[in-house]
């Protein structure tokens, strides 16, 4: 599902980007991880030329639609900070529901919506969820620990926030798309995204 199908903003995706011909496992360490603390998340985004605002939009904002698997929540639900306890930032009203869907030792491939209330609508509901402690993923919840990212979250909960969210999300997603673009001779425009030409 794309943003337009989910009643969000329409935008054109530029085509013709060159992809690399080699995958490097070491580069995976620079990608955000679900259990990263907020300082590391900010650092990983800033290293790619993305701001704290982009961090909010491309994590919690993007999670207005879609699902995740229980294995991505294992630490926050059952072993937060190696304590055999749950992440205290999860609202006590929400925790039993998550644990029921993702019990300790259960099937890690069970899927659940990132935004339980309006999972098929591109809206600001995930930001309301963050404020209430109803974040499904740990790194979304971490956004409320930092004054800058928390301020961005709160800005989309004000009057006109949905319009700003739509516009800002498009800018961030296009900014993300422009990271590491290859020049002629460094890559190829793939005929099929899943394999080299």
**Could you tell me if 104 and 167 are in contact, meaning their C-beta atoms sit under 8 angstroms apart?**
no
Question: According to the annotation, is 126 in a ligand binding site?
Answer: no
Question: According to the annotation, is 103 in a ligand binding site?
Answer: no
Question: According to the annotation, is 123 in a ligand binding site?
Answer: yes
Question: According to the annotation, is 118 in a ligand binding site?
Answer: yes
Question: According to the annotation, is 147 in a ligand binding site?
Answer: no
What is the Cα–Cα distance from 10 to 38, expressed in whole angstroms?
30
What is the Cα–Cα distance from 47 to 193, expressed in whole angstroms?
26
What is the Cα–Cα distance from 5 to 120, expressed in whole angstroms?
9
Question: According to the annotation, is 140 in a ligand binding site?
Answer: no
What is the Cα–Cα distance from 129 to 126, expressed in whole angstroms?
5
Q: What residue numbers does the annotated binding site for substrate cover?
A: 32
Q: What residue numbers does the annotated binding site for heme b cover?
A: 63
Q: What residue numbers does the annotated binding site for Ca(2+) cover?
A: 64, 115, 118, 123
Q: What residue numbers does the annotated binding site cover?
A: 32, 63-64, 115, 118, 123
């Amino acid at each position: 599902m794309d943003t337009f199908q989910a009643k969000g903003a329409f935008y054109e995706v530029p085509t013709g980007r060159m992809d690399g011909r080699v995958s490097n496992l070491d580069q995976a360490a620079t990608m955000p991880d679900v259990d990263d603390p907020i300082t590391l998340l900010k650092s990983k985004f800033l290293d790619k030329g993305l701001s704290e605002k982009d961090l909010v939009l491309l994590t919690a904002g993007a999670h207005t639609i879609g699902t995740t698997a229980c294995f991505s929540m294992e630490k926050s639900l059952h072993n937060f900070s190696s304590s055999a306890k749950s992440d205290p930032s999860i609202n006590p009203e929400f925790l039993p529901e998550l644990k029921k869907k993702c019990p300790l030792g259960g099937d890690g491939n069970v899927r659940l919506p990132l935004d339980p209330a309006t999972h098929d609508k591109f809206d600001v509901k995930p930001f309301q969820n963050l404020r209430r402690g109803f974040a499904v993923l740990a790194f979304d919840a971490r956004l409320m620990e930092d004054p800058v990212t928390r301020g961005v979250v709160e800005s989309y909960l004000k009057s006109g926030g949905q319009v700003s969210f739509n516009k800002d999300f498009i800018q961030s997603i296009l900014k993300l798309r422009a990271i590491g673009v290859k020049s002629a001779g460094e890559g190829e425009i793939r005929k099929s995204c899943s394999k080299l030409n």
